[in-house]
Amino acid sequence: MRVLVLGAGGFLGARLAAQLAASAQLGGHAIDELVLFDRKPLRTPPSARCRLTALDGDLRDAAVLQALLARPPEVIAHLAATLTLAAETDFRQGLETNVLALIALLEALRARPRTDVGTQARTPARTQARTQAHVPMLLFASSISTFGGALPDVVGDDVFQAPTTSYGAHKVIAEQLLADYTRHGFVDARALRLPIVLTHPGPASGSISDQVAALIREPLRGQATTCRMAADSAMAVVSVDKVIESFLHLATLAADRLPPGRTLNLPGLTVTPAQVVQAVARVCPGAEALVAWQPDAGVQRIIDGWPRAFTSARALALGFGADASVDDVVAAFLRAETQPR
């Protein structure tokens, strides 16, 4: 099996790439070749049990797409994105990375020749006659930021999506595109809406999720940090370990167990910045003294627009779940600190 990871130089992409390279397995199938792609040249994982290929370039470049798809991948993990604050600052860059590059990929997949093997697509009657083989599975990272505005205390499966950031709007567009291309039988898309993912190893990027991550990362390294949100701001978080585990699980599910929209909320753990700092202090006494509290109105507005409690009855029934505690999230970062990069 050939697996392609897009955004393999990023936080999630690098972790997924390392996991796949070490196990050489995905969804119960052996990986023969793992292709890692990013906008810039990247380092490959230090150890691998399968063939590794590293490529870089622009996904909107037809020649780049042709090279990536020259040998059709059975699975594509799309983890490339321009995040919230960057997308707010540079509208065009966010649109190009988060929407136009995805459209270019989907169109390249749609244009690939297919072989009739008599397998009916699960689509409305007007497209049920389509019979295709070798339709790739596409795993996609969506986001909690697709929700916004006046939200209930707990955001579950059926809450209306009204994003209040460009990044959130881009992810809603992506979800709809993935569902429609799947309905037509061009791909087998599966997406998870991710809470704030912890803990980025740095260097600091300035993104909202990284500002939360800094509350764990910097004090544990003996460094000072500034929290730009109120200490009691409730937010939904998830460890990167749980995210990778969840994407691997998502790849094992039969297609007919997924909802028509093809996207699930990944249940999150609700915490506050104060609780995060307290958890760090339990393993690193005095860590709280390294955190300065200076709430920023712009950051606070974004945090307040996101779900405070994030869950999914559908995801829970399919075997997904949240981290047990914020202490587990801190422990996961400490384990990652001891691993080679």
Residue 167 annotated among the catalytic residues of the structure: yes
Rounded CA separation 3/168 (Å)? 27
Cα–Cα separations (whole angstroms), residue 205 to 162, 199, 217: 26, 12, 13
Catalytic residue among 11, 140, 147, 167: 167
Pairing outcome for strands 25-26 and 29-30: antiparallel
Q: Where are the beta strands (DSSP E) in the chain?
A: 2-6, 25-26, 29-30, 33-38, 51-56, 75-78, 137-143, 188-194, 196-198, 225-227, 235-239, 263-265, 269-271, 291-293
Rounded CA separation 122/258 (Å)? 12
Say if CB 163 and CB 145 are below 8 A apart.
Answer: yes
Say if CB 237 and CB 291 are below 8 A apart.
Answer: no
Q: What angle do CA 330, 331, 332 make, to 5 degrees?
A: 90
Say if CB 141 and CB 79 are below 8 A apart.
Answer: yes
Say if CB 291 and CB 215 are below 8 A apart.
Answer: yes
- Within 8 A by CB and 6+ apart from 201, the residues are 11, 217, 333, 336, 337, 341
**Number of helices followed by number of strands (H, E) in the chain:** 12, 14
Name the one residue in this structure whose structure tokens are 């307290």: 278
Q: Which residues are catalytic?
A: 167
